[in-house]
Amino acid sequence: MGRYAIRRLLQAIPVLVGTTFLIFVIVYALPGDPIAALGGDRRLDPAYVAVLREQFHLNDPLLLRYWYYVRGVFSGDFGTTYRGVPVTQIFQGKFGVTFQLAMTALIMEAVIGLGLGLLAALRRGRWEDQAVLGFTLFLVSIPPLVMGFVLQLWLGVKLKLNTGLDIFPVAGNAEGLRSYLLPGFVLACTSIAYLTRLTRTSLVEVLRADYIRTAVAKGMSRRRVLGRHALRNSLIPLITYLGADLGSLMGGAVITETIFNLPGIGQQLFNSVYLRENTVVVGIVTVLVLVYILANLVVDMLYAVLDPRIRYE
With CB under 8 A as the rule, give the number of residues binding other proteins: 20
Per-residue binding string, other proteins, 158-187, x by CB under 8 A, is ------------------------------
Phi, psi for 86 (deg, rounded to 5)? -60, 135
If the CB atoms of residues 17 and 299 are measured against other proteins, the closer one turns out to be: 299
Alpha-carbon span 269 to 175, nearest angstrom: 23
Cβ closest to other proteins, residue 44 vs residue 204:
204
Q: Please choose, out of 91-99, 213-221, 263-271, 288-296, the segment that lies near other proteins by the rule CB under 8 A.
A: 213-221
- Give residue 42's Cα distance to chain centre: 38
CA 240 to CA 252: how far, in whole Å?
18
Does position 308 bind other proteins by CB under 8 A?
yes
Among 167, 211, 227, 274, binds other proteins (CB under 8 A): 211
215 binds other proteins (CB under 8 A): yes
Stretch that binds other proteins, among 73-81, 154-162, 187-195, 206-214 (CB under 8 A): 206-214
Binders in 223-282 for other proteins, by CB under 8 A: 224, 229, 232-233
Q: Rank residues 235 and 254 by Cβ distance to other proteins and give the closer one.
A: 235
The answer to whether 43 contacts other proteins (rule: CB under 8 A) is no
Q: How far is CA 253 from CA 46, 172, 260, in A?
A: 38, 14, 10
- Answer for which of 11, 55, 89, 221 binds other proteins (CB under 8 A) is 221
Q: How far is the CB of 231 from other proteins (least distance, A)?
A: 10
Residue 82 to residue 38: CA distance in whole angstroms: 8
Burial 50-85 (b: 16+ CB within 10 A, else e): eebeeebebeeeeeebbeebeeebeeeebbbbbeee
CA distances from 135 to 129, 148, 210, 234 (A): 10, 17, 31, 22
**Residue ranges that bind other proteins, judged by CB under 8 A:** 209-211, 213-221, 224, 229, 232-233, 306-309
